[in-house]
Amino acid sequence: MFVLYEFSRTVRIDPKNLTQNRKDAITDELNRLFANR
């Protein structure tokens, strides 16, 4: 959840307003970003 918070600050989104599909999409994107580090 901390990572989602940091990510949300970066992209200027409010996690509380996200739909489940959007959360899943962001989770997938974060997984790709961290896998490519």
| pLDDT for residue 32 | 86
Q: Dig out the tokens for 29 from the structure.
A: 């994107």
Residue boundaries of the structural domains of the chain: 2-35
Does the predicted TM-score (pTM) go above 0.75? no
Mean of pLDDT values over 24-35: 84
| pLDDT for residue 13 | 58
Task: Name residue, tokens 């918070």.
Answer: 5
Rounded CA separation 8/24 (Å): 14
Percent of the chain residues past pLDDT 90, beyond the cut: 0
